Structure 1
Amino acid sequence: MSAVPDAFQRYGAESLAQAPAFGPGKDGVFEATLARTGDRDTRLLRDYTKVPYHLTGTLDTDPAPGLTTLCLQEPTGGVAQGDRHSITVTAREGARARVTTQSATKVHSMQANYAHLDATLEAGPDAHLEYVPGPTIVNEDARCLQTVAVDLAPSATVVVADVFVPGGLSAHEPFDFDHYHSRLEARCEERLVCADAVDLHPADGDPRDPATVADYDVVGTLYVLAPEADTEVLAEAIHARFDAHDAVTAGVSALPYESGVSVRVLGTRSADVTDAVRDAWDASRQELLGVGIPADRRY
C-alpha cells in the first residue's frame, strides 16, 4: 500500500462510532493476475475479492486483440468514513487488460476519520494495462485519499484515468468536502518516472485560486506511461483531440525520461471532462495499439 500523508494519518487516529477502520465490510480487497500466451486472449490466472468488491468474470468485448476487461463491482452504494479499499493488478509478459468499475465511486459525507482508495498496478515486458474507473464523487465534509502505484517494464504500457467531481455540483456548494488528495507514483526499473498529486483542502486555501482549478469544478487526469513510445508523437496526437472540446481547458505534458505523457482536463460539467479524457485515451490507444477504445457499456 502507498504511503499515507501526515494529514491523513492524523485523520486515521480518530475513532468511529460505527465499525472501525479495516472492520468487516470496510476492508475491500481486489487482487488479479493476468497472463497471455502468444496471440491468444489474455487469461485471468488468479483473482481474490473481499467485500465490498466483487468480480463476476472477464469480458471479451474490447476491440484490441487479446485484451480482456475486468469490471469491478461494489454493491454497497459508495465509500464511507473508515473505509480502506485496495486493488492490486498484475499483467504478466505480453498480457493486455483493462480494469474499470461498474459506475462512479461516491464518497459519502463524514464526521470522522477518512476513506482510502489504493491501487497497485504491475506490468511486465510487452504488457498493456489500463486502469480506467468511473469518476470519483466527493461529497460534503468527506475526506478521501486516492493513491496509485505503478511498476512497469520498459517495453510495457500502463494507462491510468481519473475524474474528480465535487459533490456540490448537485446538492450543495462545490468544494465543501473536507480534504481530497489523489497521488500517482510510477517507476520503471526502480526509476521514478512520474510523481503527480492533486491535493485540495478548502480550509487551507480556496481551490478556485488561479494556481489550482480557477473557475472550474471538475478535474480529469490521464497518465499514459509508455517508455518505448515516441513521446512527442503521443503528445501531439492527444493534444489534437482537444480542438473538438471547447467546454474544457486541457493540457498535455511529457513525463521525465521520455516515459510517456500526463494529461490534465478542467471543466464545469463532469460529462464534458469525462468525454475529453476518453478522447485522449482513445488517441493514446490508436498510437500504442492501433485501435480505439471500447464503447462505454458498463451501465
Structure 2
Amino acid sequence: MARTPVHAEAAPCPPANTYADPSRLTLPELSGLPELADYQDQPAQMPAGAPGKVGYLRLRFARGPERSELVELERIAPLLVQRALYWDEGMPELPICMVTSVGGGTLQGDRLTIVVDVEEGACAHVTTQGATRVHAMDSNHAAQLQLLTVAEDGYLEYLPEVTIPYRGARYASRTRIVAAPSATVLVAEAVMAGRKHHGGERFRYEVLSLSTEVVRPDGTPVFTEKLLIEPARRSPELPGVMQHFDVFGNLLILTPPEIVERVTARVPPQFDLAEGLASGLSRLPNGAGLMLRVVATESHQVRARMREVWAVVREEATGRTLPEEFAWR
C-alpha cells in the first residue's frame, strides 16, 4: 500500500457521542452461551448491564490526503479513547488509539463492546493502556464483544495487552472480523493463567470463553475458533495443554496469499524449554492467512515473540519497519 508521509501536527479529535443509544449496546452474541448458564444471578452491588457497566466504543478510520485519520468516535464509560496519535516513527501515517478503562478493570456484570472500522486503503493501530484485569467474582459474569471490519487494501493492528483472570472470574469474549481479501489484519490475544504470584491463583478462575469468527464482506464464512477453559472441570495443567506454562498467546494474521508465503519463509518455529517458551506458525483455513501460537512462563516472553512476528508482517504487508519499543511499554 502506497502512503504519503504526514505532517508533524496532531489531527483534531472527531466529535465523540458519549450518549449513544444504549438499546443497541446489548451483547446478544454472548447472551446464550451454555458455559455462562450457571452465572446469571445479579450482583448485589449493581445489576449486570446497568448504566456504568455497559461500555461501548466505536472507532472509524479513513484514509486522508496525507495519512489515515480517526474520523468517527463514539464512547460510553467505562471505555474511553481520547484521540488518535502519531508516534510510530516507522509508519508515521498510522493513527494509534489507546483504549483505556475508567472502571479499574473488568468487573462482574460488565458488558463491553468495541467496534473498529477501517475503510478502504486506510490503516490503524488499536491497543490498550495496560493489561485487562478480570476481577474476582461472586455472581454473574463479564462479557466483551469485539467487531472489527477492514475494507479492501486496509491495514489494522489490533493488539491489546494481556488478559489476567483473577480467582473466581467468569469471562467471555467474542471477536468477529470482517476482512476483505486484500486487507491485512493482525489481532493479538494473550491470557495469563492468573495472578500466579498472588497466593496460588494459577488457573483458579471459573470460566474463560474466547471465540473468534472471520467472514468476508459478502458474508462468506472463513473460519471459526473457540477456546473454552473451565479449570474446575478439566485442568489445563496437562501435558500437551499448558502443563508448566503460565501464558498463552495467539496472533491472528489475516493477509493475502502472497504475503503469507513471504512471512512463512521468515518465521521459523521456536522451542526452548530451558527458557520456558514455545511457538509455531500455522496456516488458517481457506487461505485466510496465518496463526502464531505461543506459550511461555512469563507474559513478556509472549509479547516479545509476537512483536518479532508483527514486525515481519508489517514489513511484508506495508514495506514499513517496526520501531524499537518504548521502555514504558
TM-score range, shorter chain: over 0.9
Q: 1:196 matched to which residue of 2?
A: 225
Q: 2:79 matched to which residue of 1?
A: 53
Kindly report which structure 2 residues correspond to 1:262-273, keeping only aligned pairs within 5 A, or say none: 262-273=291-302
1:295 shift after superposition: 4.3
Cα 1:8–1:28, aligned 2, differ >3 Å: closer, same or farther? Answer: farther
Q: 2:196 matched to which residue of 1?
A: 169
Kindly report which structure 2 residues correspond to 1:140-159, keeping only aligned pairs within 5 A, or say none: 140-159=167-186
Q: Of residues 115, 125, 128 in structure 2, which corresponds to 1:88?
A: 115
1:113 shift after superposition: 1.0
Tell me if structure 2 keeps the 8 A contact 1:237–1:284. no
Q: Of residues 150, 161, 174 in structure 2, which corresponds to 1:134?
A: 161
d(CA) in 1 for partners of 2:261, 2:304? 23
Tell me if structure 1 keeps the 8 A contact 2:245–2:276. no
Could you say what the CA RMSD is over the residues aligned between the two structures, in angstroms? 2.0
Tell me if structure 2 keeps the 8 A contact 1:154–1:228. no
1:94 shift after superposition: 0.5
Cα 1:269–1:34, aligned 2, differ >3 Å: closer, same or farther? Answer: same
1:289 shift after superposition: 1.5
Tell me if structure 2 keeps the 8 A contact 1:22–1:84. yes
SS for the counterpart of 2:87 is coil
Q: Which moved more, 1:90-99 or 1:51-60?
A: 51-60
d(CA) in 2 for partners of 1:294, 1:186? 29
AA partner of residue 24 (structure 1): P
Q: Of residues 261, 264, 274 in structure 1, which corresponds to 2:303?
A: 274
d(CA) in 1 for partners of 2:39, 2:59? 28
SS for the counterpart of 1:239 is coil
d(CA) in 2 for partners of 1:261, 1:163? 16
Q: 2:211 matched to which residue of 1?
A: 183
Pair 1:257 & 2:286 matched: yes
Cα 1:295–1:118, aligned 2, differ >3 Å: closer, same or farther? Answer: farther
Q: 1:213 matched to which residue of 2?
A: 242
d(CA) in 1 for partners of 2:286, 2:279? 22
Pair 1:3 & 2:29 matched: yes
Pair 1:36 & 2:63 matched: yes
Q: Of residues 32, 48, 53 in structure 2, which corresponds to 1:26?
A: 53
AA partner of residue 129 (structure 1): L
d(CA) in 1 for partners of 2:278, 2:260? 21
Cα 1:184–1:264, aligned 2, differ >3 Å: closer, same or farther? Answer: same
Q: 2:103 matched to which residue of 1?
A: 76
Q: Deviations over 1:171-226 (max 9, x none)?
A: 03210111111111111242222322221101110101224222211111100001
Q: Count how many residue pairs are aligned between Structure 1 and Structure 2.
A: 297
d(CA) in 1 for partners of 2:82, 2:259? 37
Q: Deviations over 1:124-176 (max 9, x none)?
A: 11100111011101100101111111001111111100110122312032101
Q: Which moved more, 1:20-29 or 1:191-200?
A: 191-200
Runs of 4+ in 1 over 6 A off after TM superposition: none
Gaps of 5+ in 2: 1-26
Percent identical pairs in the alignment equals: 30
Q: Which moved more, 1:10-19 or 1:215-224?
A: 10-19
AA partner of residue 49 (structure 1): R
Tell me if structure 1 keeps the 8 A contact 2:77–2:102. no
Give the TM-score normalised by the residue count of structure 2.
0.84
AA partner of residue 70 (structure 2): L
1:50 shift after superposition: 0.3
